[in-house]
Amino acid sequence: MSNTHQEAIKQFLSLMGNVDEKLNDTFQNMHHGYPTETLARFLKARDWDVQKAYKMLIDCLQWRIQNEIDNILSKPIIPADLYRAVRDSQLVGLSGYSKEGLPVIAIGVGLSTYDKASVNYYVQSHIQMNEYRDRVILPAATQKYGKHISTCLKVLDMTGLKLSALNQIKLLTTISTIDDLNYPEKTETYYIVNAPYIFSACWKAVKPLLQERTKRKIQVLQGCGRDELLKVMDYSSLPHFCRKEGSGSSWNRSNGTIDNCFSLDHSYHQQLYNYIRHQANLIESGRPIKQGSVHVEFPEPDPEDTKIAKTIESEFQRLADQNGICNSLNGLKVNGD
């Protein structure tokens, strides 16, 4: 780390020494014993501008307090059938670890429909997976590999991406904004696989709008990306949609376990759901667990994110016009509660 960067961290630490007790408590819960590394993430996200990074972190800590994020892992989505419906329509899972020990998060972008529950449940579930990653998965990886691991790899499956994905653009922008503002610099590399023409067209339009830092993290791989991904992870950690014998919706069984890491029956989701229920039982101590979604305040999207969303919308519209199905896209919007 350069002297300039070390000096920025020193200044940032000094500013954090003056925050009130509430903010400091949630900061402790957030950094998990690695305050310097956490400050470095916020500095990276603001191009090492100390004042901007400080404002970003204070805003994040206030968001955590206002929305009780420190307690979100004790608020299960119940009944289990509702949670299964969320899992079946918000395709995210942990498929394994890279050779360097980084968790491999698989995301089914093209086949996620987000239509089985209200927006609040999907946002709640997304934040819970973020918090479980930061509080449980990353500390366990750090311990196992004997070095501090604070980031993950994401493999984005574009199988099934259609023009109707425009329906989800508002929700996806919300989730993306929550990540950008409150969980910055947690992804080392994004691997895009199984990309159809519609993705390629959008990528061409969106790429120039991205910051260089973001662009460097994105790799669009050929086909299912299997050979490239095997350079950074073992076969057992490959998401199911990157294996030759499987497709985006495959349900291969090996050693009696389901390989599809999107499924609620996969070990990762079982552990996550059981962890949340256990935390809820500790707090409620015998009282019935409350039903209903957690209402998290949605942050205002960054102007750059808004511009990217608009570009994707207009690119989808252009493709729709080419296909002569423009009318079916008019008035599409995300349904709330």
* Tens-place pLDDT, residues 17-40: 999 999 999 999 999 899 999 999
Question: Whose CA is closest to 274, among 78, 5, 88?
Answer: 78
Neighbours of 308 (CB within 10 A): 21
Q: How far apart are CA 181 and CA 173, in angstroms?
A: 12
pLDDT at res. 289:
65
Q: How far apart are CA 167 and CA 163, in angstroms?
A: 9
* pLDDT of 221 higher than 80: yes
Residue partners of 229: CB distance under 8 A and separation at least 6 = 155, 191, 193, 221, 238, 242
Task: Tell me which of 169 and 6 has the higher pLDDT.
Answer: 6
Percent of residues, the chain, with pLDDT higher than 90 = 66
**Mean per-residue pLDDT over the chain, rounded:** 88
Return the structure tokens found at 78.
């119940």
Would you say the C-alpha torsion 190, 201, 228, 160 has a positive or negative sign?
A: positive
pLDDT at res. 7:
95
- This prediction has a pTM of 0.88
Residue partners of 188: CB distance under 8 A and separation at least 6 = 102, 151, 152, 153, 217
122-144 pLDDT, tens digit each: 999 999 999 999 999 999 999 99
